[in-house]
Amino acid sequence: MAFEQDRRFLVHDVLDYSGHYASLDFPDAPGRELIDAILDEVGRFALKELKPLNRIGDEHGCTLADGVVTTPPGFKEAYQKFVEGGWASLTGTVEYGGQGLPDSMSLFLEELLCCANLAWAMYPGLSRGVLEALESHGSADQKRDFLTKLISGEWTGTMCLTESHAGSDVGLARTRAEADADGTYRITGSKIFISAGEHDLAENIVHLVLARVDGAPDGTKGISMFVVPKFNLDGTRNQVVCGAIEEKMGIHGNATCVLHFEAAKGYLVGEENDGMRYMFTMMNAARIVVGLQGICLAQAAYERAAEYATQRLQMRSLSGPKAPDQPADPIIVHPDVRRMLLTQKALIEGGRALVYFAGQLIDLVELGKDEEIRDEASELLDFLTPIVKGFLTEVSFESINHGVQVFGGHGFIRETGVEQFLRDARITLLYEGTTGIQALDLLGRKVLMNQGKGLIRMITRMDEIAAACQSALPDIADALTQLGKQWGEVSFAIGVAAQDDPEEIGAASVDYLFYSGYAVLAYLWARMALTASERADDAYGRGKIATARFYFQRLLPRTLAHKAAIEAGGASLMQISDEALTSGLSTPVR
169 to each of 101, 166, 257, 289, how far by Cα in Å?
A: 35, 5, 19, 22
Handedness of CA 320, 325, 326, 329 (dihedral sign): negative
Residues in the chain: 590
DSSP assignment of 454-520 equals HHHHHHHHHHHHHHHHTTT-HHHHHHHHHHHHHHHHHHHHHHHHHHH-THHHHHHHHHHHHHHHHHH
Backbone angles phi, psi at 442, to 5 degrees: -65, -55
Burial class (CB in 10 A: 0-12, 13-18, 19+), 309: buried
Contact 348, 551 (CB under 8 A): no
Spatial separation of the C-alpha atoms in residues 64 and 221, rounded to whole Å: 36
Q: Catalytic: 41? A: no
Spatial separation of the C-alpha atoms in residues 150 and 266, rounded to whole Å: 17
Dihedral over alpha carbons 266, 272, 275, 281 (to 10 degrees): -90
With H, G, I as helix, E, B as strand and everything else as coil, classify residue 16. coil
The helix or strand, by DSSP H or E, that contains position 544, with its residue range, turns out to be helix 539-550
311 Cβ contact partners less than 8 Å away, ≥ 6 residues apart: 330
Dihedral over alpha carbons 484, 485, 488, 490 (to 10 degrees): -110
Per residue, the 3-state secondary structure of 339-386, as one string, reads: HHHHHHHHHHHHHHHHHHHHHHHHHHHHHCCCHHHHHHHHHHHHHHHH
Q: CA angle, 391 as apex, 332 and 122 as ends, to 5°?
A: 90
Q: For the beta carbon of residue 184, count every other beta carbon within 10 angstroms.
A: 18
DSSP assignment of 23-49 equals TSS-SS---HHHHHHHHHHHHHHIIII
Backbone angles phi, psi at 246, to 5 degrees: -65, 140
With H, G, I as helix, E, B as strand and everything else as coil, classify residue 590. coil
Could you tell me whether strands 155-160 and 204-213 are parallel, antiparallel, or unpaired per DSSP bridges? parallel
277 Cβ contact partners less than 8 Å away, ≥ 6 residues apart: none
DSSP assignment of 169-224 equals -GGG---EEEE-TTS-EEEEEEEEEEET-S-SSSSEEEEEEEEEETTPPSGGGG-E
517 Cβ contact partners less than 8 Å away, ≥ 6 residues apart: 387, 390, 391, 392, 394, 395
Instruction: Kindly name the residue from 432, 489, 567, 579 that is annotated as catalytic.
Output: 432
263 Cβ contact partners less than 8 Å away, ≥ 6 residues apart: 178, 186, 187, 188, 239
Active site amino acids: 432
